[in-house]
Chains A and B, each alone.
Chain A
Amino acid sequence: MIQVQSPGMFTTVQDLGRFGYGPLGVSPSGAADPIALRLGNLIVGNPQSAAALEMTILGGTFVFPEGGVVALAGSDFGPTVDGAAVRTWAAIEIRPGQTLRTGPTRSGARCYLCVAGGIEVKLLLGSASTHILTGLGGFEGRPLKKGDVLVTGKPFNQPRAVPRSILEKLQPRKTLRATVGAQTGWFSTASVARFYESAYIVTEDSNRMGLRLQGAELETPHSGQMTSEGVSLGAIQVPAGGQPIILFVEQQTTGGYPKIANIISADMPSIGQLRPRDEVRFEFVTPEIARNLIREQEALMGQVCGT
């Protein structure tokens, strides 16, 4: 059991999302940095897909009346237990009645509080993930509030350590790699070059649906209008005005703006660590490189499971 003494800025229950409901307009949602969530779960002995708390920018304070084993994975939110600093990326034994406190981030946007046994909420379409826009899933379909009480499950396996060398290879990147998108061919060569040469700033009105960027204005083919079609996770669409938007985990499932590029699967978790006002750049890669990178990343995750 976890009592929420203070929820932090924006804390939601997330797992790896709900897939297969695209034909009904339902996007997967799920953890913004799924690599951190999966590693945190592995550390506390959970299946990688167990539900955890996703904290954003400013973490919360949680009381464990019955104690438990937890891990903080992702960005460093300066965690303490009863005032004593504890490590991130490691299993922490919390004794009954102790308080885990986290604060403002010292690195990226998100930190996951994973608990041995996972967070138990009623599954919606097979997933515990919160979908904020529609108020569905997770804990009452909303971010946590002071006084909420979360149920945790029975611990699965013994905690395990993740080798430092693997953690380092899985750190989030500030330069996101991208392949062509569905309409890259609509943009002029000069416009595509401009996109890859420029630094963009993540604006304040970015969230789990999408990250709005500000920087070099891109030419918008057909005034940014096109027949609506399915949009993929990490698509970079360019509406009228020429400022790109990265579609993220709670994305709309279809859209009507041309897409200049698409972030590669291996770098999707890094999007989840971008904060408002962060600078981000893009690096072009071929589909073959993109495929190799996600396969290498999954091979690393496989090594963690094997350790």
Chain B
Amino acid sequence: MILFQYASDQSLMVYLSDSIDLATHHRVLKLLRLLEAGPIPGVRNLHPAYNSMLIVFDPVAQEHAEVERILAQYLDRLDTIALPQPRVIEIPVSYGGENGPDLNDVAEYHKMTPERVIELHSSAQYIVYFMGFVPGYAYLGGLPPELTTPRLKAPRKKVPKGSVAIGGSHTGVYSFETPGGWRLIGKTSLELFDPCSAELSRLAIGDLVRFVPAT
């Protein structure tokens, strides 16, 4: 069920479905690839998400009706796009201790050992649904349901860069030092956003991710 929604005088939202699932994710990714390969005139930015894409354009040069008209053509062509095999990115993680100050609390909450939390967290394969919030931050899907843990009641003012965390049914890596309310179980030394590298961001929409305990 596709829905176009006016978001501002310089942006149009398109919802590709009302659920978060892999099939929807693939449609978002295909739409992104079409928009990158054949940019709509006047479009300045794209914000893909779980089941939607925000399209930002120059309000002087372009308008909603025209963007919607071109998008509708792209959406008709989604099934003709074949996505390549996703990359698998390994993220080394130092779990627990000062790198993961909340690991023991997470273990206690689930009445399991910290070792079991690490085993569960590092045995799953995650998918990058989209990048957002801050540069290099990946919204990951695939946290084992046994690890769903409520966020902290009082968010930290500063979460160290590289922290690997669980918040609700999500897990993620803080790509920069930001405030945050997720529970910190470990830390990676992998640079997630490097403006000097050609790819800029270590992770991209559609990638598969594995966390590997650092020895």
Contact = CB atoms under 8 A, between A and B. Distances in A.
B20 A227 contact: yes
10 contacts: A25-B201, A134-B176, A135-B176, A180-B6, A228-B49, A229-B47, A233-B8, A235-B7, A264-B9, A298-B60
Interface string A125-149: 1000001011110000000000000
A107 interface: no
A272 interface: no
Interface in B71-112: none
Interface residues of A, number: 44
Nearest to A299: B60
Nearest to B49: A229
B60 A234 contact: no
B136 to A, nearest CB: 6
Interface of B: 5-11, 13, 20, 32, 44-54, 56, 59-60, 63-64, 130-137, 139, 175-176, 178, 193, 195, 200-201, 204-205
A23 B8 contact: no
Contacts of B64: 287
Nearest to B175: A25
Contacts of B204: 23-24
Given A21-B45, A231-B54, A263-B8, 9 more contacts: A22-B56, A125-B200, A131-B135, A228-B139, A230-B11, A232-B11, A234-B8, A294-B60, A295-B59
A21 B36 CA distance: 11
A30 B137 CA distance: 21
A170 B136 CA distance: 37
4 nearest interchain CB pairs? A230-B47, A230-B54, A254-B132, A262-B8
B55 to A, nearest CB: 8
A24 B134 CA distance: 8
Contacts of A235: 7-8
Contacts of B60: 294-295, 298
A252 B45 contact: no
Contacts of A19: 44-45
Contacts of A227: 20, 49-52
Contacts of B48: 22-23, 230
A259 B5 CA distance: 12
B195 A136 contact: yes
A243 interface: no
A20 interface: yes
A263 B13 CA distance: 16
B195 A125 contact: yes
Nearest to B55: A230
Contacts of A262: 7-9
Contacts of A252: 132-134
Contacts of A136: 135, 195
Contacts of A182: 5-7, 13
Best-surrounded residue of A136, A227, A252, A290 (most CB of chain B within 10 A): A227
B54 A24 contact: no
A265 B59 contact: yes
Contact of B50 (A22, A229, A290): A229
Given A133-B134, A182-B13, A234-B8, A24 B201 contact: yes
